[in-house]
């Protein structure tokens, strides 16, 4: 089932325009659990949107009235929660960990995943950085975290965000160079202030760490992208599963 949140994320993650459509998408993501009780008037007031902007946006999604849009969003939220419960109840994350290609013990990887989930649980905002295809693999993680009430967005250079210690930055980069380059080229974002999670194939970051607030998941393998992409998917599934069982049951 293509839930309404998935359709909103399709636009949000793919758009090239920082316009009212993008801002409404972002507002919905950041107030997802509040939408159940949010009137049209409150939506317009909190988001500083014009009524015609809101109705132009929901028309793109096939709705004529705000209330119809809101009710569908809320109903689909419950649908997604039910899907998550059915898929994850009774599943043991250690089964996934045992099958991973990794450079540490199963217990160490379980601790790393648990620490990452703790960072996500405390976060006010989660932002994923990296090349288009690798970060697109995290879409299921993004959808589930929003369903759990955690704002989760992909980074877009046209969105002038400033990060602080309450943010979590997930950086997906096989070589790890993305994080170093981003810190130099986008100093105004202040990614160094955020709690960072670096998923990489470059072992040097495991040895040196990029900063005290950076947790590194090193996945061994050739720099051919194919193996790395499968590893990203496994890690994202592990985080989804562990987070659900650790914080949502």
Helical (H) or strand (E) element with 118: helix 106-122
What the chain holds in terms of domains, given with CATH numbers, is: 4-86 (1.10.10), 96-248 (3.40.50.10490)
Q: Please report, for residues 42, 57, 204, 225, the alpha-carbon distance to residue 198 in angstroms, rounded to integers and kept in the order given.
A: 38, 35, 12, 16
Dump pLDDT digits (tens) for 198-209: 999 988 887 765
Q: What is the mean pLDDT of each run of 10 residues along the chain (249 residues)?
A: 92 96 98 98 98 98 98 97 92 88 91 95 97 93 97 97 98 91 94 94 77 86 79 94 89
* Spacing of C-alpha 224 from chain mean position: 24
pLDDT value, residue 208: 61
């Amino acid at each position: 089932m293509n839930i309404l949140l998935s359709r909103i994320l399709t636009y949000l993650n793919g758009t090239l325009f920082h316009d009212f459509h993008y801002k409404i998408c972002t507002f919905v993501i950041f107030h997802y659990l509040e939408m159940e009780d949010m009137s049209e008037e409150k939506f317009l007031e909190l988001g500083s949107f014009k009524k015609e902007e809101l109705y132009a946006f929901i028309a793109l999604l096939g709705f004529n009235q705000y209330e119809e849009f809101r009710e569908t969003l809320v109903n689909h939220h419950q649908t997604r929660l039910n899907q998550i419960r059915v898929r994850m109840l009774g599943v043991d994350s250690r089964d996934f960990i045992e099958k991973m290609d990794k450079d540490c013990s199963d217990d160490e990887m379980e601790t790393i995943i648990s620490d990452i989930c703790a960072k996500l649980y405390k976060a006010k905002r989660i932002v994923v950085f990296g090349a288009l295809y690798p970060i697109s693999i995290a879409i299921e993680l993004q959808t589930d975290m929003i369903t759990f009430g955690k704002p989760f967005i992909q980074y877009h250079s046209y969105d002038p965000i400033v990060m602080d210690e309450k943010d979590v930055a997930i950086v997906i980069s096989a070589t790890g160079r993305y994080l170093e380059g981003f810190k130099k080229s986008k100093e105004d974002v202040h990614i160094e202030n955020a709690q960072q999670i670096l998923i990489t194939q470059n072992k040097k970051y495991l040895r040196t760490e990029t900063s005290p607030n950076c947790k590194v998941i090193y996945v061994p393998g050739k720099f051919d992208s194919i193996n790395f992409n499968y590893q990203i998917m496994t890690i994202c599934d592990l985080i989804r599963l562990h987070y659900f069982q650790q914080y949502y049951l």
